[in-house]
Amino acid sequence: MLNLLEARDVRVRFRSKSVIKSLIERDDDPFLDAVCGVSLNVKPGETFAIVGESGSGKTTLARAITGLVKAQEGSIRYLDKELIGLSSSQFRPLRRDIAMMFQDPIGSLSPRLTVESLITEPFKIHGVKVDDYAEEARRLLSMVGLPAHFASRYPFQLSGGQARRVGVARALALSPKLIVADEPTAGLDVSVQGEILNLLATLQSELGLSLLIITHNLSVVRHISDRMGIMYLGRFIEQGNTDDIFEQAKHPYTQALLSANHDPDPDAHSERIELQGEVPSLLQRPMGCEFHTRCPHAKDICRSQVPEMRYSTSGHQAQCHLIDAI
């Protein structure tokens, strides 16, 4: 099937020193790579999850896809349009198709606007003719399971879960094809997390949406996503079908991540893999395999050579020298 979104070798660089400082210190490369050659594709109706620790570049990748951060290299194609290099006015019509939800449920709603004006704002921004904004607001509120009288509330009067639903309604307003959701369950109670995920899943199957979900919550990933990619230092180190990865993680980092996730079955005894050390600085990427500083299996080859991405038949891919040995 044709990909809805296709990213190839996306690289996002941030300047790490001022121009003057890098001149004085004769630093030829005063940049750090927040996202370093990431490829992924999202098919229509599919959910893709990006998983990783804080600072692994997930949010930056999401913002690069939605054009909020400039990607320097690579290509991001939506249907057959290249997104990298578009000016903000060229990008604007595409924003009807690609909606984004942000981490902070309340903080991502403009504090002086009522819920009604917040969820009908997308129509005003894109000049979509609506006969009755109040009616439209009621329709969107009922879609996300909020009663109509919420239309007159202000963001600070909402709970986290309610604000998140308003965020979903806002994202849905223009009937997009892809929703990029940055930590949609962050800061919510477990029960509310469940409600929000079920809401997203229902809306997805009703409307045929594609979802790109950024999270560090593995239970969420397992619950909602079809495919997933694991990010470490701005790269995907493993990518594939969610079920494949949960059953048979290839990369030692993924194995460690999954082993740290609590299994609700009390009889299931899984060995917990504890990683040593800290995530290396993006300013000083390790030589060879970037994970070797923390890898329990690291060999000499890992310290000197960058591993290649290895593929299996089902599209499961991992970047490790020792896949067959582990």
Closest separation in Å from C-beta 112 to another protein: 4
Closest separation in Å from C-beta 184 to another protein: 13
Give yes or no for a contact between 35 and 69, defined as CB atoms under 8 angstroms apart: no
* Contact range with another protein by CB under 8 A, out of 48-56, 153-161, 197-205, 298-306: 153-161
For 52, other C-beta atoms within 10 Å of its C-beta total 25
The SS3 of residue 237 is strand
The SS3 of residue 173 is coil
For 234, other C-beta atoms within 10 Å of its C-beta total 26
Instruction: Kindly tell me which of 24 and 125 has the beta carbon lying closer to another protein.
Output: 125
Applying CB under 8 A, does 279 fall inside the site for another protein?
no
For the beta sheet containing 5-15, the strands, ordered from the edge strand earlier in sequence to the opposite edge, are 31-42, 5-15, 73-78, 81-82
Applying CB under 8 A, does 16 fall inside the site for another protein?
no
Site for another protein in 86-145 (CB under 8 A): 91-92, 95-96, 99-100, 102-104, 107-114, 117, 121-122, 125-126
Instruction: Kindly tell me which of 149 and 272 has the beta carbon lying closer to another protein.
Output: 149
Closest separation in Å from C-beta 71 to another protein: 15
Closest separation in Å from C-beta 171 to another protein: 9
Q: Show the binding pattern over residues 200-229: x = contacts another protein (CB under 8 A), - = does not.
A: ------------------------------
Say how far apart CA 33 and CA 28 lie, in whole Å.
Answer: 14
Could you list the beta-strand ranges (E) of the chain: 5-15, 31-42, 47-52, 73-78, 81-82, 98-101, 178-182, 210-215, 227-232, 235-241, 309-311, 317-319
Nearest to 46 by CA among 192, 230, 225, 271: 225
Site for another protein in 66-85 (CB under 8 A): 66, 68
Which residues of this chain interact with another protein, rule CB under 8 A?
A: 66, 68, 91-92, 95-96, 99-100, 102-104, 107-114, 117, 121-122, 125-126, 149, 152, 154, 156-157, 170
